[in-house]
Amino acid sequence: MDFFRTNIIESFNFLSGSFLISSFDLAYNLSKIVDFVNKNLTQHHHRVAYIATAIAAEYGLNLSRIKNTTLAALLHDIGLMVTSEVKNLSTFDIGDDSKLSHSKIGSYLLKEVSFFQELSDIIEKHHFKYKDYPDIKDEPLIIFLADRIDILLDRNKASYYQKDKICDIISSESGKMFKPEHVEAFLKFKDKEYFWLELDMPDKDKILRKYIQYDIYDLNIENIMEFTKFIGQLIDFRCSFTATHSVRVANTAATLSKYCGFDEQKQKEVEVAGYLHDIGKLGIDPYIINKNGPLTIDEMAEMRKHTYYTYYILTSLEIFDDLKYMAAFHHEYLDGTGYPFHLKANRLTTGCRLMTIADIFTALTEDRPYRKGMKIDKTLSILETFAKNGKIDCNILDILKENIDEIQYISKSLHNEVIAKYNNFKNVLI
């Protein structure tokens, strides 16, 4: 099924200048992938956002604070991408919040996205209990309450039929885990059927939008770069062996695009696609990502899903219409033997082709748990075999070889820079 046929055009149609996107769209779509990781808690982020928004509005927060509550709720567990705390979080009372690292990680990484900075502090405190921190702002306490309500709800039964039990448990923690005024606001929904029915609706997009008009940002490529670098780190920091992968692919691809004649704006767009190319890996089991040895056939099949996930996620973001092909087709080969779409040369633009080469080049030169990174000569000879077999573009490979010193220099200095950042980041976990 060639469902993207009409969207692919031979002369790559790049974005130009700036474009409009709302903070809500970015957070809402990113939260979809965060939920891939915890298959037992489907739509957790969308549901928590719905509950938290309803409570915040009922409690009387002003519109700008409701907006931040919704956005932070949509991203509250984003730090889970780099930890394995998922199981513990399904217990109603987790105990000591200071032992949880996912809130610190999420907050730490989000600090770097200038337009999401206000969310960082809220996310850091989203497991704080009222009795331990009675003076903190309402937003994190409301998200904590909403999060615990969602944890209590059994996904196999309609929420409406669980309302009495849920409201009893929540009431019993008023003044302890939760702020009494927030509990009071929540209890106002107890007998309002629509609240429980909306909670079980599959898509919260329209429902959440009815509460508030979200800011529309006129994001330029620099803002997008900032956001996608953050996503790149989220992907890479899951495993020490790939801690610099996305940043190196992004910069290798951008350098290749420069020598392929792309203008400066287009080079930046290639770089953005590089940061995003493995975003689908966020949906892959951390066990496979961190496995200390070669993958079995089944694990490999699981890992290969990531390219489709990249495609799936980026398709939901309208702004990435062109970037998504460069990002999502990085495992496609010119002879149709790649995956997941098995596209052939006539469907793979220069941008897609150079991304594939940048990805293979980076992967081969990286250390893996079961092998050391390859030396440059061996890497290039493997790439030459790929080109001879009709899998990758010979002209782009020639460009890589001609500029190998510059590419290696950029790659090494970025590696050192990002490793320093990664080590800093690991301190957050302690």
Q: At what angle do helices 404-429 and 102-110 cross, to 10 degrees?
A: 140
Smallest distance, Fe ion to C-beta of residue 144, A: 8
User: Which is closer to Fe ion, CB of 151 or CB of 380?
Assistant: 151
Q: Quick one: which segment of 55-63, 234-242, 256-264, 270-278 binds Fe ion (CB under 5 A)?
A: 270-278
Residues in contact with Fe ion, counted by CB under 5 A, come to a total of: 3
User: Which is closer to Fe ion, CB of 246 or CB of 349?
Assistant: 246
Closest CA to 195 of 175, 215, 181, 210: 210
Instruction: Tell whether the torsion through CA atoms of 393, 395, 401 and 403 is positive or negative.
Output: negative
The Cα diameter of the chain in Å comes to 70
Give the angle subtended at the CA of 114 by the CAs of 46 and 219, to the nearest 5°.
80
77 binds Fe ion (CB under 5 A): yes
Smallest distance, Fe ion to C-beta of residue 140, A: 10
Q: Within 26-45, which residues bind Fe ion (CB under 5 A)?
A: none
147 binds Fe ion (CB under 5 A): yes
CA distance 417 to 415: 5
User: Is 296 exposed, middle or buried (CB count within 10 Å of its CB: 0-12, 13-18, 19+)?
Assistant: exposed
Q: Quick one: which segment of 131-139, 145-153, 332-340, 374-382 binds Fe ion (CB under 5 A)?
A: 145-153
139 binds Fe ion (CB under 5 A): no
Secondary structure string (H, E, C) spanning 403-423 = CHHHHHHHHHHHHHHHHHHHH
Kindly state the tokens that stand for 321.
Answer: 């219409």
Smallest distance, Fe ion to C-beta of residue 289, A: 11
Q: Quick one: which segment of 15-23, 55-63, 142-150, 195-203 binds Fe ion (CB under 5 A)?
A: 142-150
393 binds Fe ion (CB under 5 A): no
Determine which one of 125, 163, 204, 281 is catalytic.
281
By the 8 A CB rule, do 336 and 389 touch?
no
User: Which is closer to Fe ion, CB of 89 or CB of 167?
Assistant: 89
User: Which is closer to Fe ion, CB of 278 or CB of 366?
Assistant: 278
**H-assigned helices in 38-128:** 44-59, 63-75, 102-110, 117-124
- Number of other CB atoms surrounding residue 123 within 10 Å: 30
Residue with tokens 């966020």: 282
CA distance 39 to 21: 29
236 binds Fe ion (CB under 5 A): no
Instruction: Indicate which single residue of 278, 322, 366, 393 sits in contact with Fe ion (rule: CB under 5 A).
Output: 278
Smallest distance, Fe ion to C-beta of residue 261, A: 26
User: Which is closer to Fe ion, CB of 195 or CB of 311?
Assistant: 311
Q: Is 281 a catalytic residue?
A: yes
Smallest distance, Fe ion to C-beta of residue 27, A: 14
CA distance 353 to 356: 5
User: Which is closer to Fe ion, CB of 219 or CB of 358?
Assistant: 358
Q: Which residues bind Fe ion (CB under 5 A)?
A: 77, 147, 278
What residues are labeled active site? 281
